[in-house]
Amino acid sequence: MFDRRGGRDRGAGQPGADPAAARPSAPPVPSVPAAPPAPAPLSSADISGWREALAGVDRDVSDAERVDQLRTLEELKAAAAAAQARIAVDLDVSQRRAQEAAGVPAKKRGQGVGAQVALARRESPHQGGRLLGLAKTLVLEMPHTFAALQAGTISEWRATLVVRESICLVRADRAALDDQLWADPGAVERLGTRALVARAKQLAYRLDAASVVARARRAEAERSVSLRPAPDTMTYLTGLLPVAQGVGVWAALTRTADALRAQGDGRSRGQIMADTLVERVTGQARAADVPVEVQLVMTDRTLLAGDAEPALIPGYGTVPADFARDLLAARLPTPDGADGAAATGPDERRVLAWLRRLFTASGTGELVALDSRRRIAPPGLARFINTRDQACRTSWCDAPIRHRDHVVPAAAGGPTTAQNLRGACEGCNYARQAPGWAARTLPTSQDTVTSGDGDQGDGQRAGPGGHVVELTTPTGHTYTSHAPPLPGHRPAPATGPPGRQPAGPPGAPESDSRLKRLVERHRATLDRTA
């Protein structure tokens, strides 16, 4: 045992004790403190305990302590991001070895790993691939930036920006940039985000100016246009253009807006620029006249009886009922004449509004299924899947539907039916081609048939109704995807047969008579196109 001074008790006064211990001796040589024991490796259960403990952070503290808590938690977030990066790299290495053992060609190894990272982090597959690429660069090629992330000196986003500016360099130059950037860690920590990016760009240009210039030239090949939802039934139409072209488009729109404003146009400058963009791209005389199919999905009650049930625009999301009715009314022919007949003339042919009836199962809101004997979904079935699923069915992936993916592959005998098809983006569909992935449709309480793979499995059911797909990754993790509810779905099961339902409850507001007469005039057309 040890005495109070930290020296070992030699057992004086005990039988067999050394007599020399009682004689005076030289001063003891200071001992080197023993290194603290290495912490035990952490498991997912340990980390879960931390997460639960964070809910009990002490709140009865001073403001100075609150600021310290904020800083410490921010550093913990960065350290967690570093741990995720290392884990992602380990997963990639392990999965590639497993795929090699399974005989997968070298150029296809690693397929699906980014999708697994995405599912684990509740991100889209595209973002999962980017996170995996970031992790591999940090862990394997930029040790100083990775160490700063582990220490909480920089955030995951700032580390991403540093990697982005170095990605055009060869591996040796990227390591040199990492060394030079972190020669003074304190200075880097004090830099703002824009200053950090500027510093990384400067170092990259010094190390290999030709690669930076070539990267700028290659960027022109990545020009594109994208569309994403914005609040209040608006969208963001974004064009990624070379700088000269982008500035030219902006200057042209600005000149037009300034000229019209000078002539007394009552619209704001931004409104004129937006309208001019739509008119010049579509060739229409007015921005409101664009004859585009938006596949508006709404109940007959919303269309005809002024019901407040929201409508749906696939690819955008939910829109208010009034907005949906206004969208249709604005695209009808000119107002009816006094005798109720539709007015004729050039305006009637200006824009057409086509209506297509869709039937849903009572209680579940699920669309009535279609099927086909073809391997590739025919146009009608493809529209059906697009309307039912609205976006890629992989969990946390909001990408537009590009493929109608067989849940049970066609090569394995899976039929081309609505039950065995799911909407998928290209990335999610291709990720499933890697070894170890599996999927099946889960039966629900409304189903009387087996799941899509013809096997009830363990009897698991997905819920009260709707199309449900269970995806299993090579590591055995499962993720369940439910088709989103369509307008008009109510928890209580309906009792009437599919088809036309009563217009609405007593006292429901009267809808736009033009909409109602349009539907009545084209009832025969509706029956033919249903």
Q: Please give the Cα distance from 299 to 309 (Å, whole number).
A: 7
First to last CA, the chain: 90
Residue (of 111, 112, 156) closest to 134 by Cα position? 156
**Shared domain check, 228 and 216:** no
Q: Is residue 207 part of a domain?
A: yes
- Domain boundary pick from 255, 290, 325: 290
Percent of the chain residues past pLDDT 70, beyond the cut: 69
Same domain, 279 and 416: no
Q: Length of the chain, please?
A: 530
Residues 206 and 75 in one domain: yes
Q: Does residue 451 belong to any structural domain of this protein?
A: no
Tens digits of per-residue pLDDT, 451-481? 333 333 344 444 445 789 999 999 999 999 9
Residue 71 pLDDT > 70, yes or no? yes
Question: Which residues form the domain of 409?
Answer: 379-444+464-482
Residues 198 and 253 placed together within one structural domain of the fold: no
Is 492 a domain residue? no
> Do residue 85 and residue 154 come from a single domain?
yes
Looking at residue 238, what DSSP letter applies?
A: E
- Co-location of 131 and 207 in the same domain: yes
200-237 pLDDT per residue, tens: 999 999 999 998 888 888 888 889 998 888 888 788 99
Amino acid at position 397, single letter: C
**pLDDT at residue 514 in the model:** 53
Q: Considering only residues 136 and 48, tell me which one the structure prediction assigns the higher pLDDT.
A: 136
Decide if 452 is inside a domain.
no
Round to whole Å and give the CA distance between 527 and 402. Answer: 29
Q: Which of 171, 173, 191, 177 is nearest to 145 (CA)?
A: 177
Q: Give a yes or no: residue 498 inside a domain.
A: no
Average pLDDT over residues 318-326: 79
pLDDT at 18 over 90: no
pTM: 0.66
Identity of the amino acid at 152 = G
Q: Domain count of the chain?
A: 4
- Shared domain for 92 and 204, answered yes or no, is yes
Residue type, 228: R
If asked whether residues 76 and 132 sit together in one domain, one would say: yes
Of 222, 243, 270, the domain-final residue: 222
The DSSP output letter for 261 is: H
Of 274, 290, 306, the last residue of a domain is: 290
- Domain check: are 101 and 175 in the same one? yes
Residues 74 and 193 in one domain: yes
Residue 506 belongs to some domain of the structure = no
CA atoms within 13 A on the CB side of 443: 15
Q: How far apart are CA 358 and CA 279, in angstroms?
A: 33
Burial of 186 (0-12, 13-18, 19+ CB in 10 A): exposed
Residues 168 and 82 in one domain: yes
Residue 447 in this model has a pLDDT that exceeds 70:
no
Please compute the mean of the pLDDT values over residues 187-193 and round it to a whole number. 92
Question: Tell me, what's the pLDDT at 87?
Answer: 96
156 and 170 assigned to the same domain:
yes
What count of other Cβ atoms lies within 10 Å of the Cβ of residue 55?
6
The residue ranking higher by pLDDT, 335 or 450, is 335
> What percent of the chain has a predicted confidence (pLDDT) above 90?
43
Does 500 reside within a domain? no
19 or 39: which leads in pLDDT: 39
